[in-house]
Amino acid sequence: MTLSLQEISDRLEIQELLTAYSHAVDRRRWDDLDDLFTPDAVIDYQATGSIKGSLADLKTHLLQVMPMMLSYQHLVGTSALTLSGDRAEGRSICFNPMVIDSGEGNPPRVFFCGLWYRDRFIRQADGWRFAHRVQELSYFYDFPGGSPAGASAFGFPA
């Protein structure tokens, strides 16, 4: 496959966007997300027991849920991107180990989430942005409560 310089640039810029998202979340820098999404972006994380809504909805949710996490990482890779002018679509693997405070003097618990991000991107005057982001769940391993539906005791929606 031969790529034009524009296609190479677009792919690198989108990869940087994916990386910026992971770093913003993993550093708990919620306001950094404002520079990564379009103002009307739709975010759907229902497959992992989270919310569907706007960026403001996501940030509110993260502020409520993430403090119980002692640590976590978003390892995103093997992105498949399809470019079409100022629009693009992508599917990326995410491996997300998380350490949760088990409370009541219990040792912290480590669990794992494997998912894909399905994204739609739009190029704006200041660069590529997420316009639509959906999580597809592949698996949870050792999730508190057994599944997202059983995790309301840990602050996750039922």
Query: For the chain, what are the domain ranges?
Result: 5-154
pTM score, whole prediction:
0.89
CB 119 within 8 A of CB 90: yes
Whole-angstrom CA distances from 9 to 6, 15, 45, 127 are 5, 10, 29, 11
| Of 62, 69, 66, 71, nearest in space to 33 by CA | 62
pLDDT of 104: 82
* 126: three-class secondary structure by DSSP: coil
Within 8 A by CB and 6+ apart from 154, the residues are 68, 100, 144, 145
Residues 18-44 pLDDT 10s: 999 999 999 999 999 999 999 999 999
CATH number of 5-154: 3.10.450.50
Residues 74-133 pLDDT 10s: 999 999 999 999 999 999 999 999 999 887 888 999 999 999 999 999 999 999 999 999
Within 8 A by CB and 6+ apart from 156, the residues are 49, 50, 65, 145, 148
